[in-house]
Amino acid sequence: MMMDNGVITNNYDGVYGDGYMEQEEEWEREGLLDPAWEKQQKKTFTAWCNSHLRKAGTGIENIEEDFRNGLKLMLLLEVISGETLPKPDRGKMRFHKIANVNKALDFIASKGVKLVSIGAEEIVDGNLKMTLGMIWTIILRFAIQDISVEEMTAKEGLLLWCQRKTAPYKNVNVQNFHLSFKDGLAFCALIHRHRPDLIDYSKLSKDNPLENLNTAFDVAEKYLDIPRMLDPDDLINTPKPDERAIMTYVSCYYHAFQGAQQAETAANRICKVLKVNQENERLMEEYERLASDLLEWIRRTMPWLNSRQTDNSLAGCQKKLEDYRTYRRKHKPPRVEQKAKLETNFNTLQTKLRLSNRPAYMPTEGKMVSDIAQAWKGLEIAEKAFEEWLLSEMMRLERLEYLAQKFKHKADIHEDWTRGKEEMLQSQDFRQCKLYDIKALKKKHEAFESDLAAHQDRVEQIAAIAQELNTLEYHEVGAVNARCQRICSQWDRLGALTQRRRLALDDAERVLEQIDLLHLEFAKRAAPFNNWLDGTREDLVDMFIVHTIEEISGLMDAHARFKATLGEADKEYQAIVNLVHQVESIVKQHQIPGGLENPYTTLTAHELNRKWSDVRQLVPQRDGTLAAELRKQQNNETLRRQFAEKANAVGPWIERQMDAVTAIGMGLQGSLEDQLRRLKEYEAGVYAYKPHIEELERIHQAVQEGMIFENRYSQYTMETLRVGWEQLLTSINRTINEVENQILTRDSKGITHEQLNEFRASFNHFDKNRTGRLAPEELKSCLVSLGYSIGKDRQGELDFQRILAVVDPNNTGYVSFDAFLDFMTRESTDTDTAEQVIDSFRILAGDKPYITAEELRRELPPDQAEYCVARMPPYRGVGAPPGALDYMAFSTALYGETDL
């Protein structure tokens, strides 16, 4: 600051804004300076000066003339400041006047007021604009500057005070210091708010601005000792009244009601505390609701996952697997998000309770975070067991379907073979035959016995399959058992009938001797060859079930070995056919009647030829069936590789993200804001990566639909990747919540970035295993590194145990960074206390030990007033009026164990 020819100059912007004269000159250049403003300012500032000068028994009539000699200007400053200025010069010369004005300007400058381009000469010369600018700076410094509401500037604070006081009033909306006061209702509302006995606000109308203004100004002058500083006609007729004039007048209201400001400050503190409590209650209720909903969903889901009931069919089991896929894809993901939100809300709530000096929140029994985690773990175990059971059940049912089809196939072949055999064995045809025919029948029977023995293996296979179907609890096992019993009973009858017929033929053989050697040879060789043909045809159409390329390759190798034997079989076929040709040759040569009929077998060369042709046709068909199965297994192998390739990329990616999030959570990377930003980036990256998981789910579905139950190309399963994905999402949400809580703690407690870094660096230094927590001994070393003196004697141990009780109240054996940070910030910062809230209520109550509902509703916003009325217990002291409330008990309960 410097003096230049009596002009105070500096670059300070002042309380209200830029220098008065600079602002006036700027408005004048832009054509925005209304001449009416100067008139309004002159009247208002004159009245304001007189409101103070009258205390010294004097006043002014013309503001630009009466301050020219500096005497009344110095007197005005002494009255409003309560200080004594230097003795004025009593001469009447111009330099005496300039000296007095300079003494006044020096005093103004000593109070930090910035007078830009205002000099003593302009005041002495009666420059109205300069004089008004000087008075405005005095008003700012001594009437407005000290007004402060919620740490705002003087103008903003005064405006906010007006807004708060007039908020409940109809037709009042204070947004500025010009148009908002034109209709007079704002002035009336300010008076009614503090002195409702002076004005009946309900009778006022927005349509009568002149009446409203006169009412307010008259009441203020008569009852509040605030002189008229504004002209109602000027306010109404000026498009935009001068805000300096209105601010000056409104500031008089503020100071007139200054006694009520202490109550407002107390009300503000109470509102702040109640807002914290209401928000905490909301978070508690939301936690209880989310916890109840999630636990109820788990409770409803568990019986389904624990159920092991199916309709014992492969289709029913596949339907159950599809239901499970729908559950994992649609029903569970929202619950994963709900669980993460639940943990986030719980951590945020506990942080806010610590920051507001409230006791920790204890959820309803059975709804602790640990209870939810335990229930969730049980759900995941049930899911894994349910899916494993489903897959094993599908393998069992697939095996059952295969066995049932194989049973039917072999039973159909056997029953076709046995059809008519009982009637044949019971026949008495040999009774009318000659010796030759008897011998033929005997040989034919021997061939049948050979054929019967060959079919014994098939019957045993049928019985074995039926037994396995019983063991595996096939759903149509009753029909299988009935059919198997019929086959076995018939087989026993055939054996008995065969034995009786053989005995009968043996009796006849003694008298019949001739035998046709060629027919006999044909019968002997044709029967086993025919049986081989039947067995081969059965094998070539036999069903099979495989799961790997190796298994189908084994079947193809066996088929190749079979095809290698076809050459020898063809030789046998040709040899048997040659026997027939020989018979035909002999019969033709010797003209034997009926000689072509082979009495020893029903087999004919034509039938053998047909079956041999069938076998040769079935061989390439079998080649095609095996090739198709090979392609299927190759496709399954491709699915295995596709899944493995994708899983082997997704799995490590998830692990890397987990490591990165863990590193950020350890506070190793920049400021909290940097950590939060990086976590948000990771969160966006993770959600952007979700299509890879969905693609893997689609491949996994194809794998399951292909009945693929193992994959040697990857250590990852879909289940482990799902769990890893869910853990990654949960970890990111939890870490973001922790960082946000640390920012909340830092900002609300006022700790610096350097302090936070020091706390984090010390914590990480002793967190050797990077677990995010410290053991008691590690905590002790950490505290010592931060300057705590913890002795090694008994007293030192007691001091440390008291610290442990604060940072680890549940005796878990470790301390998290959040608890550590909360302890460190609590050591150096203050929070609101029950005593402070009690003092605030006492101010509102006028030092009474109780408060009334009417007082609460008058001093507090409606929602918080009703909150107090509903929860504040009745006052039980002597002499209290009906309805008196105990604010002390209420305030104490806010900071203790309570349901408030």
* Whole-Å CA distances, 787 to 230, 389, 761: 63, 59, 14
* Whole-Å CA distances, 277 to 280, 437, 844, 864: 5, 114, 20, 10
* Contact residues for 408 (Cβ-Cβ < 8 A; gap 6+): none
Q: Judge contact between 180 and 243, C-beta under 8 A.
A: no
Q: Judge contact between 818 and 828, C-beta under 8 A.
A: no
For the CA atoms of 707, 709, 712, 716, the dihedral, rounded to the nearest 10 degrees, stands at 110
Q: What is the pLDDT of residue 497?
A: 87
Angle, vertex CA 302, rays to CA 296 and CA 307, nearest 5: 150
Q: What is the pLDDT of residue 673?
A: 84
Q: What is the pLDDT of residue 34?
A: 62
Supply 622's token pair.
């079998």
CA 53 centroid distance within chain: 68
* Contact residues for 124 (Cβ-Cβ < 8 A; gap 6+): 68, 69, 70, 94, 97, 98, 101
Supply 633's token pair.
């297994």
Q: Judge contact between 704 and 712, C-beta under 8 A.
A: no
Q: What is the pLDDT of residue 152?
A: 67
- Report d(CA 474, CA 344) in Å as an integer: 51
Tell me the one-letter amino acid at 524.
K
- Report d(CA 247, CA 144) in Å as an integer: 8
Angle, vertex CA 699, rays to CA 694 and CA 702, nearest 5: 130
Q: Judge contact between 183 and 235, C-beta under 8 A.
A: no
Q: Judge contact between 755 and 775, C-beta under 8 A.
A: no
- Report d(CA 75, CA 55) in Å as an integer: 10
Q: What is the pLDDT of residue 640?
A: 84
- In the block, which residue shows the tokens 């402060």? 148
* Whole-Å CA distances, 463 to 205, 485, 494, 585, 836: 105, 9, 17, 47, 91
Strand partners, 4: 7
Q: Judge contact between 263 and 844, C-beta under 8 A.
A: yes
Q: Give the number of C-alpha atoms closer than 13 A to the C-alpha of residue 86, restricted to the C-beta side.
A: 14
Q: What is the pLDDT of residue 12?
A: 31
Q: What is the block-wise mean pLDDT of the chain (900 residues), using blocks of 10 residues?
A: 34 37 45 66 90 88 88 88 87 86 88 77 88 87 72 79 89 91 93 89 91 93 88 89 89 78 71 84 89 92 88 81 88 90 88 83 88 92 89 81 85 87 80 67 84 85 88 83 90 88 70 56 84 85 79 85 86 86 71 66 86 88 86 84 88 90 74 84 89 89 81 87 90 86 76 73 79 84 77 80 84 83 69 78 86 88 89 88 90 66
* Whole-Å CA distances, 576 to 242, 394, 518, 530: 131, 49, 10, 11
Q: Judge contact between 252 and 49, C-beta under 8 A.
A: no
Q: What is the pLDDT of residue 691?
A: 93
- Report d(CA 305, CA 829) in Å as an integer: 52
Measured in Å, how far apart are the chain's first and last C-alpha atoms?
A: 57
Tell me the one-letter amino acid at 348.
T
Supply 464's token pair.
């074995």
Q: Judge contact between 242 and 24, C-beta under 8 A.
A: no
Alpha helices (H) along 307-331: 314-326
Q: Judge contact between 236 and 210, C-beta under 8 A.
A: yes
Supply 70's token pair.
């500096």
Q: How big is the chain, counted in residues?
A: 900
* Whole-Å CA distances, 272 to 66, 149, 680, 773, 799: 49, 14, 31, 33, 34
Alpha helices (H) along 224-313: 232-237, 243-256, 261-306
- Report d(CA 219, CA 188) in Å as an integer: 9
